[in-house]
Amino acid sequence: MCGLMGYVSNNGNAASKVDALAAGMLCARHRGPDDPGTWHDADVAFGFNRLSIIDIEKSHQPLRWGPADDPDRYALIFNGEIYNYLELREELAAEFGAEFTTSGDGEAIVASYHYWGEDAVAKLRGMFAFIIWDTTKRRVFGARDPFGIKPLFTATTDDGVAFSSEAKGLRELTGPAGVDPVALQHYLVLQYVPEPATMDPGISKVESGTCFTIDLDDSTAPLTVSYRRYFHPVFTPMTLTSAAQKSALYEEIADVLTDSVAKHMRADVTVGAFLSGGIDSTAIAALAKRSNPNLITFTTGFEYKGFSEVDVAAETAAAIGVRHVVKTVSAAELMQTLPLIIWYLDDPVADPALVPLYFVAREARKHVKVVLSGEGADELFGGYNIYREPQSLGPITGLPRGLRKGLASMGRALPEGFRGKDMLRRGALDLPDRYYGNARIFREDQLSGLLKTYSPEVSFRDATDAVYAESAGWDPISRMQHVDLFTWLRGDILVKADKMTMANALELRVPFLDSRVFEVARKVPSSEKITKETSKYALRQALRDIVPAHVLNRRKLGFPVPIRHYLAAEAYDWAHEIITGSAADEFLDKAAALALLNAHRAGEADHSRRIWAILVFLLWHGIFVTGAITPQIPDTVYPVTL
C-alpha cells in the first residue's frame, strides 16, 4: 500500500518532469512515508512513496526486473498487495525458470507480465494499481484491480500522459483544479462523481477492472492510451432445489471467505481489523484471529446517544477474544478536521462516514500498520435494505404502466413527508429510472434552484445506462448489485476506505472483495440474499459457526454520524460560515443553500445529507480551486512501526 506517480513523455524529455514528480510525491507522502524513490530514462519518469508491508528490507520501488539475459528490462511502480504472489512466484519459477531477487509481490507482477503478457492481470488476486515500462518494446502497460480498491488518476499534458495515486499530485503538472459542471451535477445527485470523471475536468480516473497500454514511437504526436476492460462481473444465480444444495452453498461461502482472510493476513508487519457492530466486520475479525491470536480490533463512535456501536463492538470483541481499542469523536473534532479530511480525499465524496473512518484509522495506526475491513459484503451478498424494493414495490410495479402513472400523479399531489409518497413515485418507475445506487441526495428536479449550471440534459442515467445494458434479463436484485459495483462501491465505499486509511499511512485490506469470493457470491440466488426477515441470508447462514449469536442477524449500521442533529445545533454556525464565505457563486446559489440549512434547523425537513453534500463541495472548492482554505497537514511521523 503506497503512492505512485508516473509520467510518459512523447518527446523523450521525461527527465524534465522529475522535479514536478517529486513535488507531486510530496503531496502524497502520507501514503508511503517509509521509503521514497524515483527513476527515469528518456521516455518515462517514475516516483514512489512506499509503505513497507512485505519484504521490508528489499522490494524497493521503482522496481527493476527482467529475465536473466536482460535483468533491467522492466521498471515497475505498484500500489497495493497481491495476495497470491507466493503461488505466482512458484508457478513462474516452475514453468519458465523465472528468477527473483526479492521476496515481495512486485516482481511477481512484472514476471507474470513478461511470461503471460496482458493476460497476467487476470491471474492477480489482490488490490492494485500498477504501471510497467518495457524498455525494449517501449511500451507502457498498467492496470487497476477488478473492483477499484486502489485508485489511479490520470491527466494528459501537452507533451505526455501522467498517472498518480493522488489527484493533487497531478496538479503539479496540470495546474490548479477547475470544476466540471456535469460532474458537479452528478455529485449532488449521487454524492460522488462517477468514474471515469472527477470534479476537475483536467483529471480523470482509470476505471476499475481496466488495463491500458501506451506504445511509444519516435514522433512527437500526442500519445494514445488504449484502455481495455478485463473484468466483467456477471451474476449467474444458481437454482437450489434441496436442503443439501443450500448447505453446500453455505459451506462453500464459509470456505472461500476463510481462505481469503488467511491470504489477506500475509504481511511482515502486524495486522489488525476494524470492528463495527455488524456481521461483515465481525466475520473478518473472527477469521483473522485464527491467523493472529493477538489480533487488535478498532471501532469508533460519536459523543451522541444512538450514534455509536461502541458497546456492541466491545461485546463482539470480548466474544471472539480480541483486544479492542475505541476512539470517540466529538462534534468539535468533526468541524475542525473536515477540511483536512477533504484535502486527503482529493475529489469530493459527500459521505459523512468519512469522518469516523479517518479517526479510527488514525487511532489504529498507533498500534498496527495494516487493518482488515468488511467492505464489499453488501454488494456481493445482497446486504442493503434497498435491495428489498423489488419485493416491497412489487404490488405497484406489477401493474400496467397507465395505472402506475396514475398512482404517481396521486403521489405528487401528496404533501412532502407524507408516508407513502415516495413509494408511489418510485413504484411508477422502471428499475433503470429509479435505481442508481445507494445514495440519493438531490433528486434532479430539486437542483434547478440551487445549481446555477443545472442542465436537464444531464442525468444519472449517463452513469448507469451502459451498466444496465450489460445486465438485461437478470433478476432485479442482481441488476441492482451490478449497478452498485460500478457506482456506489467504487465511487464512495472504496474511495473513503482508501483515502482515510492512507491519510494515516495505514493499509486497509478488504477480504470480501476477492476474485474467488466473487466467483461464489455471484452464484447465490436472490432467495438466499433477501428474505422477509433479513438480508445477506446465505452469508449469515455460512457464518453461523464463525460470528457470535448476538451479531448474526443484527441490522447494518456501520459507523453512523449524527449530522442531522449537529447541523441543527452546534454545527449550524460553522455550516453557515462555510456557505456564506465560499467563492463558488458561479456554481451554487448561496441563498438556496442557506434556505435548506435554515429549514433544517427549524425542523421543517431533514436536509442534513443535502447540506453536507454542499459543504463538502464548498470546502473542496476552497482548498483546490481558489486556495482560500489551507488545511494544516500533519507531519508523516509514526512512532509505532509494527
Per residue, what are the HEC states of 524-578? CCHHHCCCCCCCCHHHHHHCCCCCCHHHHCCCCCCCCCCHHHHHHCCCHHHHHHH
Judge whether 377 and 282 are in contact, CB under 8 Å.
Answer: no
Catalytic residue (choose from 2, 177, 317, 483): 2
Catalytic status, residue 2: yes
- Tell me where in the chain the CATH 3.40.50.620 domain(s) lie: 243-383+492-552
Tens of pLDDT along 80-100?
A: 999 999 999 999 999 999 999
Instruction: Work out the mean pLDDT of the chain and round it to a whole number.
Output: 93
Total length of the chain: 642
Confidence of residue 639 (pLDDT cuts 50, 70, 90): low
Which H or E element spans position 595?
helix 590-601
Would strands 296-302 and 271-274 be described as parallel, antiparallel, or unpaired?
A: parallel
At residue 637, the pLDDT reads 60
CATH topology of domain 3-193+200-229: Glutamine Phosphoribosylpyrophosphate, subunit 1, domain 1 (3.60.20)
Looking at per-residue pLDDT, the higher value among 137 and 56 belongs to 137
- Tell me where in the chain the CATH 3.60.20.10 domain(s) lie: 3-193+200-229
Place of cell 476477492: 514
Angstrom distance (rounded) from CA 139 to CA 564:
52
At residue 338, the pLDDT reads 97
First to last CA, the chain: 15
Angstrom distance (rounded) from CA 511 to CA 121:
19
Strand partners, 154: 163, 204
CA proximity to 122, closest of 146, 103, 104, 100: 146
Overall average pLDDT of the 480-491 stretch: 97
CB atoms within 10 A of CB 227: 12
The annotation status of 608 as a binding-site residue, yes or no, is no
Confidence of residue 56 (pLDDT cuts 50, 70, 90): confident
Alpha carbon separation from 253 to 32, 247, 335, 384 (Å, rounded): 34, 10, 42, 19
Angstrom distance (rounded) from CA 176 to CA 194:
21
CATH topology of domain 243-383+492-552: Rossmann fold (3.40.50)
The annotation status of 105 as a binding-site residue, yes or no, is yes
Note if the bond before 432 is cis, omega within 30 degrees. no
Kindly state the cell numbers that stand for 583: 467563492
Angstrom distance (rounded) from CA 484 to CA 477:
11
Confidence of residue 640 (pLDDT cuts 50, 70, 90): very low
Looking at per-residue pLDDT, the higher value among 392 and 298 belongs to 298
Angstrom distance (rounded) from CA 282 to CA 296:
12
Tens of pLDDT along 178-224?
A: 999 999 999 999 999 999 999 999 999 999 999 999 999 888 888 99
| Residue 274: pLDDT over 90 | yes
- Which 8-state DSSP code applies to residue 147? T
| Residue 477: pLDDT over 80 | yes
Overall average pLDDT of the 278-298 stretch: 95
Kindly state the cell numbers that stand for 457: 440534459
Low-confidence winner among 72-76, 296-300, 490-494, 558-562 (lowest mean pLDDT) = 558-562
Tens of pLDDT along 146-191?
A: 999 999 999 999 899 999 999 999 999 988 899 999 999 999 999 9
